[in-house]
Amino acid sequence: MTFAVDVVVMAAGKGTRMKSLRPKVLHRLGGRALAQHVIDCAARLSARSVVVVTGHGAHEVEAGLRAPADGGTALRYVRQEPQLGTGHAVQQAMPVLADDGVTLVLSGDVPLTRPQTLQALLETCAGQSLALLTLDMPDPAGYGRIVRSPDGAVQAIVEHKDASEAQRRIGEVYSGIMAVPTAWLRAWLARLDNRNAQGEYYLTDVVKFAVADGRAVRAHRITDPVEVAGVNSPQQLAELERAQQRRLAESLMTQGVRLADPARLDVRGELSCGQDVEIDVNCVFEGAVELGDGVRIGAHCVIANARIGPGAVIHPFCHIDGDATGVTVGPGALVGPFARLRPGARLGREVHIGNFVEVKNSTLADGAKANHLAYLGDASVGERVNYGAGSITANYDGANKHRTVIEADVHVGSNCVLVAPLTIGEGGTVGAGSVITRDTPAGALSVARGKPVTVPDWKRPARKKG
């Protein structure tokens, strides 16, 4: 593209039908705010800047969005108070836009427009025409209609409420997205008025000024309504969520990922997969998740911010949440069913974490196992350690957290309490039911529990008669 692109995102509207305290454009789709999808899409077009027009909930909206990660696109905000229509919204952005570029107008509540569609619209504009994104709707009620002359040239956009009966029969509608040389836009916006059925300043009136000025008006007509669908209600949000998930599932399957059912997958962040990954039904992936080659994820797992090494198997019903710290699962590890890995869980190669085991801020070296009903918090667990059922690290003394070190080849029996700070020396054994409060030497057997007592021929008390 030989011209600079500045994007204006209209996001000042109220979103009454969401019936939510949260501003509409901050509602999440695929784990990201609606308007964030729009901003990130602008970045993929290598836009020079994005100007978000805020009004309702402006503070919250401005705090809830971030500039695209690549750093090449500047993010700015302008306020529109009160909201007097889409033309008025774009007017607010004009002071911060330079006349040498093309303005691409988007809406903060239309999240699923593909970058390549906008690219095509910008090519239609080419810095030399007003380009409108349009499509044919089976039920065009509510939309602005594209009025063409007999030779097919676009003459005007007429809003539904202002349209004649004949115009209402037009199936081609304006999507809400246009690209226009900024200098022209500035001049046309200055000529807007609000003498129409809604008493609003319509952005769509720029079309008639373009025609009057003899400027080219061109339509880029698309067919997929999902690309321009807006979110006005929880129902529409849920519909677009499924559409987005379907797109993600398609792209994963195209890469070779085997999904048991593409309709039962939710990715709310970035999921990257190696070769021969299999994902069973009803799994949710959040934040940044990496699945290595040959990973298998069982049904009903929730996995956030984690790296799962090649060949690892996550059995059904696991909750893995790395949060800001992350979780790593080593190659060939087996996790679950019903396991919980919390931030800072670092599992080495072929570690086994079984049912009802919780691991937090702990490193398990290669081949370590905790197969049943256990807690490991703030622990360093050596290679090949076997950590028995029902055992826990008592890492919290009510005020501070302390570390437990379990050296290589230790065997911790069932139902032990390891009271941190504590080191269990290499190759040691801790007898079942022990409460260990002091370091133990390498190779030792440590037992701390009541001595078993056996009374032979013990007669239980008998019930008194009469």
The residue (of 138 and 456) whose beta carbon lies closer to ligand UD1 is: 138
* Residue 159 near which of Ca ion, ligand UD1, none (CB within 5-8 Å, type-dependent): ligand UD1
Q: Label the pairing between strands 102-107 and 172-181.
A: antiparallel
Closest contact distance (angstroms) between CB of 49 and Ca ion is: 24
Closest contact distance (angstroms) between CB of 350 and Ca ion is: 55
Distance CA(369)–CA(411), nearest Å, equals 10
Between the alpha carbon of residue 315 and those of residues 205, 267, 296, 301, 353, the distances in Å are 58, 18, 8, 8, 10
Only one of the segments 34-42, 229-237, 252-260, 403-411 lies at the binding site for Ca ion (rule: CB under 5 A); that segment is 229-237
Closest contact distance (angstroms) between CB of 100 and ligand UD1 is: 25
Closest contact distance (angstroms) between CB of 230 and Ca ion is: 5
* Residue 174 near which of ligand UD1, Ca ion, none (CB within 5-8 Å, type-dependent): ligand UD1
Count CB-CB contacts under 10 A for residue 428: 23
Distance CA(252)–CA(257), nearest Å, equals 5
* Residue 144 near which of ligand UD1, Ca ion, none (CB within 5-8 Å, type-dependent): ligand UD1
Whether the CA torsion 436, 440, 445, 451 is positive or negative: it is negative
Task: Tally the C-alpha atoms within 13 A of residue 153's C-alpha that lie toward its C-beta.
Answer: 13
* Residue 107 near which of Ca ion, ligand UD1, none (CB within 5-8 Å, type-dependent): ligand UD1
Under rule CB under 6 A, residue 23 binds ligand UD1: no
Catalytic residue check, 372: yes
* Residue 125 near which of Ca ion, ligand UD1, none (CB within 5-8 Å, type-dependent): none
Spatial CA neighbour of 373 closest among 359, 388, 390: 390
The interface mask with ligand UD1, positions 223-262, x = CB under 6 A, is: -------x--------------------------------
* Residue 30 near which of Ca ion, ligand UD1, none (CB within 5-8 Å, type-dependent): none
Under rule CB under 6 A, residue 13 binds ligand UD1: yes
Q: Which residues contact 267 (CB under 8 A, 6 or more apart)?
A: 30, 31, 245, 248, 252, 285
The residue (of 10 and 104) whose beta carbon lies closer to ligand UD1 is: 10
Which of 157, 170, 249, 351 binds ligand UD1 (CB under 6 A)? It is 157
Helix (H) and strand (E) counts in the chain: 8, 36
Which of 47, 104, 112, 174 binds ligand UD1 (CB under 6 A)? It is 174
Q: Which residues contact 82 (CB under 8 A, 6 or more apart)?
A: 55
Catalytic option among 160, 319, 372, 411:
372
Which of 159, 280, 350, 358 binds ligand UD1 (CB under 6 A)? It is 159
Closest contact distance (angstroms) between CB of 387 and ligand UD1 is: 54
The residue (of 230 and 354) whose beta carbon lies closer to Ca ion is: 230
Spatial CA neighbour of 206 closest among 333, 81, 85: 85
Spatial CA neighbour of 261 closest among 286, 214, 297: 297
Judge whether 33 and 27 are in contact, CB under 8 Å. Answer: yes
Under rule CB under 6 A, residue 434 binds ligand UD1: no
Only one of the segments 104-112, 212-220, 290-298, 446-454 lies at the binding site for ligand UD1 (rule: CB under 6 A); that segment is 104-112
CA–centroid distance for 6 within its chain: 26
Under rule CB under 6 A, residue 393 binds ligand UD1: no
Residue type, 201: Y
* Residue 109 near which of ligand UD1, Ca ion, none (CB within 5-8 Å, type-dependent): ligand UD1
Between the alpha carbon of residue 428 and those of residues 258, 416, 435, 448, 449, the distances in Å are 44, 14, 15, 14, 17
Segment 175-214, which members bind ligand UD1 (CB under 6 A)? 175-176, 202-204
Under rule CB under 6 A, residue 105 binds ligand UD1: no
Judge whether 147 and 74 are in contact, CB under 8 Å. Answer: no
Q: At what angle do helices 182-189 and 86-93 cross, to 10 degrees?
A: 120
Closest contact distance (angstroms) between CB of 80 and Ca ion is: 16
Closest contact distance (angstroms) between CB of 58 and ligand UD1 is: 11
Spatial CA neighbour of 272 closest among 300, 247, 295: 295
Site size toward ligand UD1 (CB under 6 A) is 27
Spatial CA neighbour of 403 closest among 425, 383, 381: 381
Segment 39-98, which members bind ligand UD1 (CB under 6 A)? 53, 80, 83-86, 88-89
Catalytic residues, by residue number, are 372
Residues interacting with Ca ion, by CB under 5 A?
Answer: 230
In the complex, the residues that contact ligand UD1 under the rule CB under 6 A are 10-13, 53, 80, 83-86, 88-89, 107-109, 143-144, 157, 159, 173-176, 202-204, 230
